[in-house]
Amino acid sequence: MLFPIIRRSATIFRSIFGLAVLIAVAAPATAQTYSLVIGVDGLGPYGLHAAPTPNLDKLMNGTWAGTGSAYRGAVANHAYAGGVRGTATQQATLSGPGWSSIHTGVWNNLHGVTDNSFSGSRYAERPSYLKILESQVSGIYTAGISSWNPINNNMFAPDGVNPNLDFRLGTNENDVQSTATAVSQIAGLSNSSRGAIFVHLDDVDIAGHSTGAYSSNYLSNISDVDSQVGSMLNAIKSRANFASENWQVVVVADHGHVSGGGHGGQTQMERTIPIIVSSQTTQQGLITSDARQPAMVDIPATVFNHFGVSVPAGQAGQALGQSVVGPSNVASLTNGLVSHLAFDGNTLGSPGTSGGTVVGNVQFTDGKFGQSVTVSQYGSGIVRLNQDLGALFGTNRDFAMSMWMKYESFTGDPAFFSNKNWNSGNNTGINMALQTIGAGSLDLNTKTNSAGRQDIEPLSGLSAGEWNNLVFNVDRDGTSLLYLNGMLFGEIVLTSAGTFDGAFNWTFLNDGTGSYSSGSITGLRMDDFGAWNRKLTLDEISYLSQNSIQSVPEPSAMALILAASGAGVWWRRRIAQARLHS
């Protein structure tokens, strides 16, 4: 079969010129259809990746309902809060406007909430999605549960126009109590009706404010949330009729945090939020972002789609989980690719790109894709790029670099990718190193020849013994972003022109000198390096977190002909599948 069939009760299947075409239509609400939306205050993508989250992982990979179940999971690593910058929709990354947008499907220019006072709210005109479900889905039971009392007192309160919720908390609770209430509500849902529950958890945000987004306290509270999510999922699976029920589970945050803690502004760390969607009709994978970036206002539309309810006029959202990243919707990664080393037994560059030269003693061993490059002892060998990319990128060209790395243990602050002498972070260039602060900590150090040193230092997230994908997207006159395994991990602002051309060409397995000794790494491996003379798109970053650069081929002449006849997407997918399984 050329495409995975989407399980929808109103799917239309046609065959045109032998190609399968699927058109998904929202199914009408039926009995035993349920929704659970879990709001995690202050959860950024960094925390979702860095903290141990086995239950959230199962939601993302679709295994939470058991082996062989029909449930799948999709995650948006690049969803956004804060509205569209520079327009009437731009809003502070605060909880008041954030949760209002999540519930109403519109930004603060329409729902009226601009801060945490909730003054100016227009909930009668723009009600919570729960109240809309009350008016549109016959017999539905709705419940609103929040650890932050202003949500209960404002958004969930009777407004005199829209139907009231069947259940809402009238007093402030904590996350443990909110979870217990949610579990009770899930267990008590009728087996022959419909239900929609929203639960808000607050402790992650409190930790972010008190100790920062890179703190062990922040990550510990995310792990607590994961356990609470697990309790709710177990309550769902424990229902007597679960096997015949149709559930949708959504997880969303209202904002992220700056590295030191706090939010309200428009930095990428504050604006970027994760969204997870799991249901029997969700496509498995990473939700696409290039054609239309997912946003917090998509939550109502996502739930409405599950119940077969039309999105009210004026709402900005669209249903998520219907389109995921794959070879067919990622632009060719050879566009602007100036250097690519697959490290498959050599240091040659792929056709049309520059490679590297071995200095000292290096070996090749099992890699993330094929083989990788390694050393028996840190400092015994390096691979140095043949081309001076620092000079090529100059003083004003945007660029991007992606690589995979793996390590077993380390001491000190050993560099593993660098074009500078790491004895001083104030030397010109870019350096990636491990450091002993935190568990598996990363230090991305940058210094242009005309601006001050800037570092991104997340305190956790790199997993020892596992492959980690690193992408650094450099915007020379804006915000440059570090991604780890497809998720935003940090940002720096580069506002003055300058070169990153260090004293050496970029070097793997050590710093630029090849002899850095204030630390060491055991089990260091590197694989599938790419450098582009442009920034990567969000979908390309997502794709590279799971796939090799070579898995998206350049279109052949036949592919171009097929594309002109409307079958190009099919051709690219078939080529990619053949190469991935060859």
DSSP codes, 342-367 = --SSS-PBPTTSB-EEEEE--EEEE-
Residue environment code for 460-473, b if the CB has 16+ CB neighbours within 10 A, otherwise e: bbbbeeebbbbbbb
Rounded CA-CA distance 582/574 in Å is 12
| pLDDT for 562 | 35
What are the structural domain ranges in the chain? Answer: 33-321, 329-550, 552-582
List Cβ neighbours of 416 (8 Å cut-off, separation of 6 or more): 405, 407, 432, 433, 434, 508, 509, 510, 521, 524, 526
Q: Helix 216-237 to helix 54-61 angle, to the nearest 10 degrees?
A: 60
List Cβ neighbours of 419 (8 Å cut-off, separation of 6 or more): 389, 390, 429, 430, 431, 500, 501, 502, 503, 504, 505, 506, 507, 512
Rounded CA-CA distance 189/580 in Å is 45
| pLDDT for 439 | 63
What is the CATH code for 329-550?
2.60.120.200
| pLDDT for 328 | 78
Structure tokens at 309: 């309810």
Asked if 313 and 102 touch (Cβ cutoff 8 Å), the reply is no
| pLDDT for 455 | 92
| pLDDT for 553 | 56
| pLDDT for 302 | 98
Asked if 365 and 343 touch (Cβ cutoff 8 Å), the reply is no
Helices (H) and strands (E) in the chain, counts: 15, 27
Q: Do domains 33-321 and 329-550 have the same CATH topology?
A: no
| pLDDT for 478 | 87
Asked if 39 and 98 touch (Cβ cutoff 8 Å), the reply is no
Structure tokens at 101: 């947008």
Domain spanning 33-321: CATH 3.40.720.10: yes
pLDDT tens digits, the chain, 582 residues: what are they?
232 322 223 322 222 222 222 223 344 556 699 999 999 999 998 898 899 999 999 999 999 999 889 999 999 999 999 999 999 999 999 999 999 999 999 999 999 999 999 999 999 999 999 999 999 999 999 999 999 999 999 999 999 999 999 999 877 789 999 999 999 999 999 988 899 999 999 999 999 999 999 999 999 999 999 999 999 999 999 999 999 999 999 999 999 999 999 999 999 999 999 999 999 999 999 999 999 999 999 999 999 999 999 999 999 899 999 999 998 777 789 999 999 999 999 999 999 999 999 999 999 999 999 999 999 999 999 999 999 999 999 999 999 999 999 999 999 999 999 999 999 999 999 999 999 876 668 999 999 998 889 999 888 888 899 999 999 999 988 899 999 999 999 999 887 778 999 999 999 999 999 999 999 999 999 999 999 999 999 999 999 999 999 886 554 443 334 333 333 333 333 333 333 333
DSSP codes, 428-482 = SEEEEEEESSSBSEEEEEEE-TTS--EEE--SB-PPTTS-EEEEEEE-TTSEEEE
3 state SS of 163:
coil
Return the percent helix, strand and coil in the chain, to nearest 5.
Answer: 25, 25, 50
Sign of CA dihedral 258, 262, 266, 271: positive
